[in-house]
C-alpha cells in the first residue's frame, strides 16, 4: 500500500470498525490515527493491518482485531500518572497505545522471538516508557506491583488471583473472560484492600493467552 492508501485504510478502520463499536473517546481515536498499526504487523501480513480480524504474528500468536484493542484501551481508562502491566506483548502495538496513555508500561511476553521483535517495533515508534520482558504472565510475579492498570491481551477462562493481587487500591484489570461461544470483556476493580468488584462490559471472543489455567476454585 502507498501512503495515501494506508491513510485511507486507517481512516476506514477507525470510522467503519472502531467508532461504530462505541469507541467514542476522542483521545483514543486520535491515538489510533497517530500510531502506525501497520508497522506492528509482520511484513507478510501487512495488507491485513487494518482488517476487522485477528492477524497472525507467528509463533502461534495473533493480534486482536482493532476494534477489540480500541475498546479494551478505552474501557481501561489509563491515566497519564499510572503504571500499567500488560500480559501478552505480541507485536507491541497495544503496548505502544498503552505507553502513550500511561507513565510506564511493563509488558510480559512468553515468546522470546516476539518479545525481541516488539522491542524493535516500539523503539522504531519512539516509545521509551515501556519495558518488554520475556516472562510467563500466568505465573506469579515476585517483587512487582502494585499496578494501577492491568490489561490481558487475549482471553482467559478466569482471571487468576495472582494478577488481582498486583492491583493497587483503585486499580483496574481488563480482560476477555470465559469460554466459547460466549466470552465477555470484564473489568475488575480493587475498591479497597480486600474488596474486589467485577463487571461484565460487552461480549467478545478472542484467542487464549498461553499458559493460563482453564478453571480454578478461586472466586471474587
What's residue 215's pLDDT?
67
C-alpha 78, offset from chain centre: 12
- Region of residue 7 (phi > 0: left; psi between -120 and 50: alpha; otherwise: beta): alpha
Q: Which of 142, 177, 163, 191 is nearest to 85 (CA)?
A: 163
State the Cα torsion 177-27-99-141 to the nearest 10°.
-30
- Give the 3-state secondary structure of residue 143: coil
Q: Does any domain span residue 94?
A: yes
Which position has the grid cell 516488539? 118
Q: Does any domain span residue 163?
A: yes
pLDDT tens, the chain, 220 aa long:
667 789 999 999 999 999 999 999 999 999 999 999 999 999 988 999 999 999 999 888 899 999 999 999 999 999 999 999 999 999 999 999 999 999 999 999 999 999 999 999 999 999 999 999 999 999 998 888 899 999 999 999 999 999 999 999 999 999 999 998 889 999 999 999 989 999 999 999 998 888 787 766 555 4
Q: Does any domain span residue 210?
A: no
Q: How many domains does the chain have?
A: 1
What CATH number has the domain bearing residue 50? 3.40.50.150
Q: Does any domain span residue 213?
A: no
Range of the domain at 150: 3-203
Between CA 16 and CA 70 the distance in angstroms is 13
Between CA 86 and CA 72 the distance in angstroms is 12
Query: Is residue 134 a contact partner of residue 115, using CB atoms and an 8 Å limit?
Result: yes
Q: Does any domain span residue 73?
A: yes
DSSP class of 137: T
Q: Does any domain span residue 115?
A: yes
What's residue 216's pLDDT?
61
Between CA 117 and CA 94 the distance in angstroms is 14
What's residue 218's pLDDT?
53
Q: Does any domain span residue 193?
A: yes
Q: Does any domain span residue 139?
A: yes
What's residue 1's pLDDT?
60
3-state SS string for 43-93: HHHHHHCCCCCCEEEECCEEECCHHHHHHHHHHHCCCCCCEEEEECCCCCH
Measured N-to-C along each axis, helices 93-101 and 66-76 cross at an angle, to the nearest 10 degrees, of: 30
pTM of the model: 0.94
| Sequence-ordered list of residues with C-beta below 8 angstroms from that of 161, at least 6 positions apart, any chain | 216, 218, 220
Amino acid at each position: 500500500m502507498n501512503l495515501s492508501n494506508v491513510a485511507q485504510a486507517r481512516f476506514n478502520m477507525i470510522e467503519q470498525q472502531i467508532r461504530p463499536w462505541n469507541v467514542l473517546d476522542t483521545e483514543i481515536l486520535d491515538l489510533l490515527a497517530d500510531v502506525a498499526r501497520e508497522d506492528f504487523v509482520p511484513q507478510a501480513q501487512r495488507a491485513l493491518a487494518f482488517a476487522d480480524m485477528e492477524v497472525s504474528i507467528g509463533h502461534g500468536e495473533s493480534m486482536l482485531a482493532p476494534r477489540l484493542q480500541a475498546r479494551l484501551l478505552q474501557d481501561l481508562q489509563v491515566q497519564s500518572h499510572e503504571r500499567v502491566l500488560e500480559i501478552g506483548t505480541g507485536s507491541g502495538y497495544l503496548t505502544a497505545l498503552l505507553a502513550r496513555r500511561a507513565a510506564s508500561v511493563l509488558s510480559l511476553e512468553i515468546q522470546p522471538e516476539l518479545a525481541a521483535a516488539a522491542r524493535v517495533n516500539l523503539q522504531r515508534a519512539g516509545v521509551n516508557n515501556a519495558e518488554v520482558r520475556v516472562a510467563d504472565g500466568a505465573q506469579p510475579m515476585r517483587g512487582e506491583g502494585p499496578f494501577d492498570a492491568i490489561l490481558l491481551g487475549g482471553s482467559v477462562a478466569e482471571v487468576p488471583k495472582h494478577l488481582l493481587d498486583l492491583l493497587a487500591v483503585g486499580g483496574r484489570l481488563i480482560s476477555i473472560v470465559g469460554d466459547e461461544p460466549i466470552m465477555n470483556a470484564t473489568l475488575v476493580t480493587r475498591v479497597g484492600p480486600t474488596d474486589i468488584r467485577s463487571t461484565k462490559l460487552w461480549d467478545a471472543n478472542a484467542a487464549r493467552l498461553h499458559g493460563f489455567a482453564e478453571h480454578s476454585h478461586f472466586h471474587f
